[in-house]
């Protein structure tokens, strides 16, 4: 799938995760059930070199915005944010894109 924008909510994977997680909450699942179901649904992305980082950042952003950030999701997202290779991917496109991504993660 890949990240096509520096802004998380502008990516397809983010939109898919958000749609599924929030739908599960609306259907009555609690936080942990909805999160586990969402993680299972997107398990193929967990170790994907391109989309794995986007998975963790998207989940963290969605859960944070809903006031439901899970500690394990936070840990994975922080691992991505502080990984120099995350920004290197964007700087590989251009210095401007790298700087924009760096700003969006702060």
Contacts of 73 (CB under 8 A, 6+ apart): 35, 56, 59, 60, 63
Total-model pTM:
0.78
pLDDT tens across the length of the chain (106 residues): 444 555 677 688 999 999 999 999 999 999 999 999 999 999 999 888 778 888 999 999 999 999 999 999 999 988 887 776 665 665 566 566 656 666 566 5
Contacts of 75 (CB under 8 A, 6+ apart): none
Q: Which of 26, 29, 19 has its CA nearest to residue 59? A: 19
């Amino acid at each position: 799938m890949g990240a096509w924008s520096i802004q998380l909510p502008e990516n397809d994977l983010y939109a898919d995760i958000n749609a599924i997680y929030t739908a599960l909450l609306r259907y009555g699942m609690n936080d942990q059930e909805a999160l586990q179901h969402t993680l299972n649904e997107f398990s193929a992305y967990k170790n994907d070199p391109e989309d794995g980082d986007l998975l963790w950042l998207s989940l963290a952003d969605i859960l944070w915005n809903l006031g439901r950030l899970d500690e394990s999701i936070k840990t994975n997202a922080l691992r991505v944010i502080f990984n120099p290779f995350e920004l290197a991917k964007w700087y590989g496109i251009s210095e401007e894109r790298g700087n924009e991504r760096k700003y969006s993660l702060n």
